[in-house]
Amino acid sequence: MSLVEQAAKRLEQLRKAATEASSEAAAPASARDGAGSTDNASTIERMVRRMEVAPGETAQAAQPTAERRAADMAADQLPLPRHAAADTPSLRADLGDSADQEMRREPVLGALADVQDTEARDDARRSRRIAIDLKRVAAAGVLTPDAVESRLANELRVIKRPIVNNCIGKSASRVVHANRVMITSSSPGEGKSFLSANLAMSIAMERDSTVLLIEADTARPSLSTLLGLPPTPGLLDLLANPGMDVATALIRTDVPKLAFLPAGTRQQHSNELLASEVMQRLVDELASRYPDRILIFDSPPLLFSPEARVLARYVGQVVVVVEAEKTTHGMLTQALSMVEDCPVVLLALNKATSPEEKGYYYYTG
């Protein structure tokens, strides 16, 4: 018998006992005297003898006031199980206990889904919305939703697949914070912002994933320019003003499943802000608010900014862009040593002259 059934049975027993106790209290004194003196112990014994409830019996929803008082008195002498669950004002269920979990499991899951839907609607209402100039973006070499069969789209599929598999748990081993992906390079000009934008566009085309592209190269933000956006509050504003509503800094795009968080207003102590507890809490919130969300951080170059090493602490995957025929072995080795503690580090070759080399991609650990 489950805890819920036991609780319901015990409640029915107590109600029957309370009814008997109330009837005895209302009986004439002569009847009670004729039956002999009754003490508390014998009253309890009679209650116990009556506690035989046939399966399927249900308790009445309401009792007279005298019966309610008698039930409360009986409950003091014969306590209910802690997990008793019943639809009566005199008893309250503990939502965290196992009996209630049996009764409320499906409603609770439904309520959580409703909360997530409500949060999504609230975020959408407070967020700004922009229409991306897809012709401008395509002219800059970035993938667009109408170019799903292009060579660029196929190359990006090769790049994104292991990243997405890590995010959804299809890799050989579980990756901590897999849905936080940092795109960086050894030095400026190797194409890390280009890959960030393309990777975000490509992942947004996945059926089961949404993307938040974060402009984390706060010293040289280029994604806003690429997308044709004017200066607007963003990441640094959220860090400098912890009370600021996150949704008001997010930008929804007309590309389904793609949102954007710009760098925001340049601050004097950007590195300290990125290394702060506020940043940690912000990343946690952005990464966990929606279960299908993947964060793409466009990070500064590793060898030219301390902020890149700070950002690497928050992510589970790092993609290092390598420019063909420019990035030296020594530069790459030094850059990789700065992110060696990250669970997954990957390399992406960019600007290769040979068609066979384009999109070449592999794991480093």
Q: Is 317 domain-assigned?
A: yes
Q: Is 119 domain-assigned?
A: no
Q: Residue ranges of the alpha helices (H) in the chain?
A: 3-26, 29-34, 40-49, 65-77, 98-126, 134-139, 151-167, 192-204, 223-227, 235-240, 246-249, 270-274, 277-288, 306-311, 329-337
**pLDDT score of 53:** 43
Q: Is 17 domain-assigned?
A: yes
Question: Is 272 found in the same domain as 135?
Answer: yes
Question: Is 192 found in the same domain as 335?
Answer: yes
Q: Residue ranges of the alpha helices (H) in 127-182?
A: 134-139, 151-167
Q: Under a CB-based contact definition with an 8 Å cutoff, are residues 222 and 252 in contact? A: no
Question: Is 15 found in the same domain as 57?
Answer: yes
Residue ending a domain, among 102, 117, 144, is 102
Question: Is 294 found in the same domain as 170?
Answer: yes
CA 23 distance to own-chain centroid: 56
CATH of the domain at 203: 3.40.50.300
Q: Is 111 domain-assigned?
A: no
Question: What distance separates the 2 farthest-apart alpha carbons in the chain?
Answer: 111
How many structural domains compose the chain? 2
Over its length of 365 residues, how does the chain's per-residue pLDDT go in tens digits? 555 566 567 667 767 766 665 555 555 544 444 444 444 445 445 544 444 444 444 444 444 444 544 544 444 444 433 333 333 333 333 333 333 443 344 444 444 344 445 555 555 556 688 888 899 999 999 999 999 889 999 999 999 999 999 999 998 889 999 999 999 999 999 999 999 999 999 999 999 999 999 999 999 999 998 888 888 999 999 999 999 999 999 999 999 999 999 999 998 888 999 999 999 999 999 999 888 999 999 999 999 999 999 999 999 999 999 999 999 999 999 999 999 999 999 999 998 875 554 444 444 33
**pLDDT score of 173:** 87
**pLDDT score of 118:** 52
Distance CA 174, CA 166 (A): 7
Residue ending a domain, among 84, 102, 120, is 102
**pLDDT score of 84:** 36
Neighbour tally for 167: CB within 10 Å: 26
Q: Under a CB-based contact definition with an 8 Å cutoff, are residues 204 and 285 in contact? A: no
Half-sphere exposure of 340 (CA within 13 A, CB side): 7
Neighbour tally for 345: CB within 10 Å: 19
Question: Is 147 found in the same domain as 244?
Answer: yes
Q: Is 206 domain-assigned?
A: yes
Residue 248 three-state SS: helix
Residue 107 three-state SS: helix
Question: Is 217 found in the same domain as 281?
Answer: yes
Q: Is 190 domain-assigned?
A: yes
CA–CA distance from 340 to each of 161, 238, 334, 360 (Å)?
22, 29, 10, 21
Question: Is 253 found in the same domain as 344?
Answer: yes
Question: Is 147 found in the same domain as 74?
Answer: no
CA angle 243, 249, 251 (to 5 degrees): 160
Question: Is 294 found in the same domain as 175?
Answer: yes
Percentage helix, strand, coil for the chain under 3-state DSSP, each rounded to 5: 45, 10, 40
**pLDDT score of 13:** 74
Range of the domain at 173: 128-363
Q: Is 120 domain-assigned?
A: no
Q: Is 357 domain-assigned?
A: yes
Q: Which residue has the tokens 């504003």?
A: 237
Point out which residues pair with 129 in neighbouring strands: 252
